[in-house]
Structure 1
Amino acid sequence: MDIIFDKVGYTYQKGTPFENRALYDIDMIIKEGSFTALVGHTGSGKSTVLQHLNALMKPSEGTVTIGDRVITTETNNKNLKSIRKQVGIVFQFPEAQLFEETVAKDIAFGPKNFGAPDEEATELARKMLPLVGLDESFMERSPFDLSGGQMRRVAIAGVLAMEPTILVLDEPTAGLDPQGRREMMDMFYRLHKEKGLTIVLVTHLMDDVADYADHMIILEKGTVIKEGTPREIFQEEAWLKSKQLGVPAAVSFSNRLDAKLGFLNTQSALTATELADLIAERVKALKAGETK
């Protein structure tokens, strides 16, 4: 299902002396089956947008359409439970939300809260563990005896046990080392490809956007200022710098290399793998006496 924002605005503590407008005139579409990255500085509105994706917040103005449900400021909160099952959110440091005495009980908590019988919820927990890179031996272990990375995987399994069709990730690799970050992002990408999950990634890491996302939305001061494919947007390095936003390491390196040496056409180099392939091709051509 698609998620569509139509002229969405949101104001915190509206009508009070502490009123603060966080979003205005947001028009955007999260397409079913996409891997969309939401990018922007602190205060750009990313976290507020995120909470509109499954109606944790309702717009002060405009509409958010989630599948066939249209959410407005007047929407009754009692009728939103099914949406929150379809759109799972993994907040920053989700391991902080673990509380049960065993991994199995923690993962099964969500399905049971939505009415699943104990046996069904436990079986769901068992099925979720391999999806996050853990095996059945973790079922009866205490989540608090696990490593930080394992705890995070258990928390993510709890979200997946709700069997959402859309997974929203809020800086999901925060605090992880480079290897842990890569493993975590590869896991989400595998879920996207193998399970058909729509992924919404809130991040400031441009390498992750380049490596995984197929669509990119940039927020600034509460509204959308640009969107497109990562390949399109990262070609505009000067514009991104003017917004104090970076580019992936491969794009930055290849642009500098090309500017100094005229070594290769870097317009198609988005990731480290693509850059390595282009350099290898160029070196091979030079050795063969060709000019390109």
Structure 2
Amino acid sequence: MAIEFKQVDFTYQPGTPFETKALADINVTIPTGSYTALIGHTGSGKSTLLQHLNALLKPTSGTVLIGDREITPATSNKDLKSLRRKVGIVFQFPESQLFEETVAKDIAFGPQNFGVSEADALKTAADMLDLVGLPATLLDRSPFDLSGGQMRRVAIAGVLAMQPQVLVLDEPTAGLDPQGRLDMMEMFAQLRHDQDLTVVLVTHQMDDVANYADHVIVMDQGRVVKTGTPRDVFQDPEWLLKHQLGLPKTTAFARQLVQKGLHFDQLPLTEDELAADLVAQLPASAFGGGSTDDE
């Protein structure tokens, strides 16, 4: 399911002394089936745009098309429940939203809220727990007795239980150690493939953008200032620095090598790309391929 913004503005507390314009003239599309990364420095408007993806916020002016639904300033809040089932948002530290006495009941809460029977919702809970890589033995446990990583996966299972077409991830690896972050990102990549999801990732981790996204939206001061593939976006380090953004670690290292005299047709984004580029630049003799005298 695609999401399209057409000339969208959003202002907090309009007509008051605290009026703040957070989005200005947003014209951008999140394509169906894409893995779109939304990046920008703190205060760039990412969180406000994110809340328009399932109409938690409605535009002050302009239109947001979410699938075949048109959201305008005049859209009634009464008609948005089904839409919010199609676009699931995993907020930062989603484990803080757990509240039921067992893991099964917490995951089943959303489907039951949409009229699914208790028996069917509990079956869905078991399926979703397996989907996020947790054992069925946890179903009857209190979510508050689990580890932090397990609690986060339970919260994500609760979002997936609604069977969304779009999965929005707001800094989903915040607070995790490097291995925990890698495990979580690999899980999302697998979920995207298995569930045929459109994924939107809001992150400050440029390595995750390079390794997982196929489409990038860059925001600054409430505006979209660049869109493209990760390769498009990360080929201009000076522009990124100007907009208070970093580079993937591999790309930053390659940039240092360029300053020392090496050449890359394109700055590599991943470790595998960097290794392949460096091997291609080594002389054949480095691999024992030089000529030798005949005996």
Shared fold, TM over 0.5 = yes
Q: Percent identity?
A: 61
Q: Judge conservation of contact 1:255–1:266 (CA < 8 Å) in 2.
A: no
Larger Rg: 2
- In the alignment, is residue 47 of structure 1 matched against residue 47 of structure 2? yes
Alignment of 1:114-263 (within 5 A): 114-262=114-262
Write the deviation string for residues 9-68 of structure 1: whole angstroms up to 9, x where unpaired: 001111222111111100000001000000011111000000000001100010000011
Distance in 1 between the 2:222 and 2:18 partners?
17
Distance in 1 between the 2:211 and 2:103 partners?
31
Letter matched to residue 280 of structure 1:
V
- Greater shift after overlay, 230-239 or 268-277? 268-277
Q: 1:66 to 1:279 in 2, by over 3 A?
A: same
Distance in 2 between the 1:156 and 1:72 partners?
29
Q: Judge conservation of contact 2:254–2:267 (CA < 8 Å) in 1.
A: no
For residue 265 of structure 1, what is the aligned residue in structure 2? 264
- Greater shift after overlay, 250-259 or 183-192? 250-259
Write the deviation string for residues 67-91 of structure 1: whole angstroms up to 9, x where unpaired: 1110000001000111100000000
Q: How many residues in Structure 1 have an aligned counterpart in Structure 2? A: 289
Write the deviation string for residues 223-245 of structure 1: whole angstroms up to 9, x where unpaired: 10011000011000111112221
Over the residues paired in the alignment, what is the CA RMSD in angstroms? Answer: 1.4
Letter matched to residue 53 of structure 2:
L
Equivalent position SS for 2:204 = coil
Equivalent position SS for 1:231 = helix
Alignment of 1:63-102 (within 5 A): 63-102=63-102
Distance in 2 between the 1:21 and 1:249 partners?
34
Distance in 2 between the 1:115 and 1:99 partners?
20
Q: What are the ranges of 5 or more consecutive residues in structure 1 without an aligned counterpart?
A: none
Equivalent position SS for 1:105 = helix
Equivalent position SS for 1:247 = coil
Q: Judge conservation of contact 2:91–2:169 (CA < 8 Å) in 1.
A: yes
For residue 113 of structure 1, what is the aligned residue in structure 2? 113
- In the alignment, is residue 3 of structure 1 matched against residue 7 of structure 2? no
For residue 275 of structure 2, what is the aligned residue in structure 1? 276
Equivalent position SS for 2:260 = helix
Q: What are the ranges of 5 or more consecutive residues in structure 2 without an aligned counterpart?
A: none
For residue 20 of structure 1, what is the aligned residue in structure 2? 20
Letter matched to residue 272 of structure 1:
E
Equivalent position SS for 1:10 = strand
Write the deviation string for residues 107-147 of structure 1: whole angstroms up to 9, x where unpaired: 00000011100001001000001211101111111101100
- Greater shift after overlay, 182-191 or 239-248? 239-248
Normalised to the residue count of structure 2, the TM-score between the two structures is 0.95
Distance in 2 between the 1:57 and 1:44 partners?
17
Write the deviation string for residues 147-181 of structure 1: whole angstroms up to 9, x where unpaired: 00000000000000000010000000000000000
Letter matched to residue 8 of structure 1:
V
Normalised to the residue count of structure 1, the TM-score between the two structures is 0.96
Aligned-pair distance for 1:268? 5.2
Aligned-pair distance for 1:254? 1.2
Write the deviation string for residues 213-266 of structure 1: whole angstroms up to 9, x where unpaired: 00000001101001100001100011111222111010111121133142x525
Letter matched to residue 36 of structure 2:
T
